[in-house]
Amino acid sequence: MGPPVNVPELRASSAHPAPAHGAPHVLPRSALLGTAAALFALTAVTVAAARLDLGSASVAVALAIATVKASLVALFFMHLRYEHRFHLVVLVGAVLFAVLFGAFVLFDTAQYQPDLRARETAERAKVR
Amino acid sequence: MATFAARHAPEHAAPPPGEGSAFLAVQFEDMGTQLATGKLGIWLFLASEVLFFSGLFLAYAVYRAHHPELFRYASLFLDWRLGAANTVVLVSSSLSAAWSVRAAQLGDRRGLAISLVLTLALAATFMVVKYFEYSHKLHNGVGWGAACHPSPEILASLPAAARALPVPEHLGTFFSVYYLMTGLHGIHVLVGMALFVWLLARVRRGHFGPGYWGPVDAVALYWHLVDMIWIFLFPLFYLI
């Protein structure tokens, strides 16, 4: 029978970061600066888009640009592009559940909106 | 690892603690397992943060979906130039936070200290701008909920088209959502600042290097999430 794995001698011999998990991915300077430049440019784009009169599409445009910006932050600054895939699953999973949560709440509140308005009108009439 | 040890050999007789195993917690076999476990833990925490903020984003979505005209009017009280400036400040701080992780991984202690100080300074700049925005509004009666009675001065500063309109009855609802969302975000910025001070104190003690940079990475990941949330708050409040 060999000794249990958790003995100090063995631990001392594994002082090098475990190669099993891969060496740390060090982001090159160009990737960091390029990501920041893209984020600054997209900030200018979102400000410019808001000044155009896009009507009801303006929210969608603003959210699309913000999503691209957030993805750049996640993929490069948070190095998700180089990480274990499961970390991406955790983040995207949380966002998907938030979207699901939002969709149901919006459907629900839209359902009782007419009743709410009718009640408001009735209360106003009573005050007068 | 060897290059880090070699570079610091004249100053440290013993290998610097940044080399690693001095910070191995009892429950882990090796530094690699500790790092991977810590990373997963941070990502799960960030997922819970996304869900935490999602409730407030949803409050925003519900109010805006049913009262678009109120949101269009109320956003005129916000100065988009200050919002854009703060976006630039926060994106820059994210860059310097990512830079600090790179410096720690490469064993560049000077670069690590400089990038952390820069991140802290940019975070403080963000809060100063936010302070001026909040105090300007609160001094002019633009509070939340029922406490929203804009002063004649601030109403006079609105664009001509808005001045012609009567002040909406439920203006305070917009500002409740505004103060809650930006306030919770601001609290996250303050927590991040405290974490950067903690990291800096540990950098001074020579804790981080190529063998041990997990805490720098964890705080940077948290900071990037705070940046991501602001990336959504900026167009949703300032650019309607």
A22 domain residue, yes or no: no
A12 domain residue, yes or no: no
A116 domain residue, yes or no: yes
Category of B211 on φ-ψ map: left (φ > 0), alpha (ψ -120 to 50) or beta: alpha
Chain B partners of A18 at a C-beta cutoff of 8 Å? 30-33
Q: Would an 8 Å CB–CB cutoff place B20 in contact with chain A?
A: yes
Topology of domain B28-239 in CATH is Four Helix Bundle (Hemerythrin (Met), subunit A) (1.20.120)
pLDDT more than 70, % of chain A: 81
d(CA B1, CA B101): 16
What per-residue confidence (pLDDT) applies to B21?
76
What per-residue confidence (pLDDT) applies to B170?
87
Assign A16 a pLDDT band (cuts: 50, 70, 90). very low
Chain A partners of B31 at a C-beta cutoff of 8 Å? 14-18
What per-residue confidence (pLDDT) applies to A128?
67
Q: Which among B17, B14, B33 is positioned nearest to B25, based on CA atoms?
A: B33
Say yes or no to pLDDT of B120 above 70.
yes
A112 domain residue, yes or no: yes
Average pLDDT, chain A: 82
Structure tokens at B203: 């950098």
**Do B150 and B142 form a contact (C-beta atoms < 8 A)?**
yes
**Tens of pLDDT along A65-99?**
999 999 999 999 999 998 889 999 999 999 999 99
CB atoms A98 and B47 under 8 Å: no
CA distance A105 to chain B (A): 8
Say yes or no to pLDDT of B2 above 80.
no
Element (H, E) at B216: helix B214-238
DSSP state of A3: P
A5 domain residue, yes or no: no
What per-residue confidence (pLDDT) applies to B159?
85
CB atoms B239 and A50 under 8 Å: yes
Chain B partners of A97 at a C-beta cutoff of 8 Å? 51, 54
Residue B47 is nearest to which of A70, A78, A90, comparing CB atoms? A90
**Do A13 and B205 form a contact (C-beta atoms < 8 A)?**
no
What per-residue confidence (pLDDT) applies to A23?
63
CB atoms A62 and B221 under 8 Å: no
**Tens of pLDDT along B133-186?**
999 999 998 989 888 888 888 888 888 888 888 888 889 999 999 999 999 999
Say yes or no to pLDDT of B6 above 70.
no
Q: Would an 8 Å CB–CB cutoff place B3 in contact with chain A?
A: no
Same domain, yes or no, for A43 and A68?
A: yes
State how many domains chain A has: 2
**Do B79 and B133 form a contact (C-beta atoms < 8 A)?**
yes
CB atoms A69 and B231 under 8 Å: yes
Q: Would an 8 Å CB–CB cutoff place B65 in contact with chain A?
A: yes
Same domain, yes or no, for A53 and A93?
A: no
What per-residue confidence (pLDDT) applies to A12?
39
**Tens of pLDDT along B102-112?**
999 999 999 99
**Tens of pLDDT along A17-27?**
434 345 678 99
Domain coverage including residue A108: 85-123
Assign B8 a pLDDT band (cuts: 50, 70, 90). very low
3-state DSSP call for residue B67? coil
d(CA B140, CA B162): 17
Locate tokens 């439920």: which residue?
A: B170
Same domain, yes or no, for A49 and A94?
A: no
CB atoms B36 and A84 under 8 Å: yes
Same domain, yes or no, for A78 and A105?
A: no
Residues B93-115, mean pLDDT to the nearest whole number:
96
Locate tokens 């991984």: which residue?
A: B105
**Tens of pLDDT along A91-124?**
999 999 999 999 999 999 999 888 988 998 898 8
Average pLDDT, chain B: 89
Q: Give Rg (Cα) of chain B.
A: 22
Same domain, yes or no, for A39 and A62?
A: yes
Q: Give Rg (Cα) of chain A.
A: 26
What is the pTM assigned to this prediction?
0.85
d(CA A58, CA A68): 15
Residues B9-14, mean pLDDT to the nearest whole number:
43
ipTM reported for the complex surpasses 0.90: no
Same domain, yes or no, for A76 and A109?
A: no
What per-residue confidence (pLDDT) applies to B101?
96
Residue A106 is nearest to which of B65, B101, B106, comparing CB atoms? B65
Same domain, yes or no, for A93 and A74?
A: no
What per-residue confidence (pLDDT) applies to B104?
95
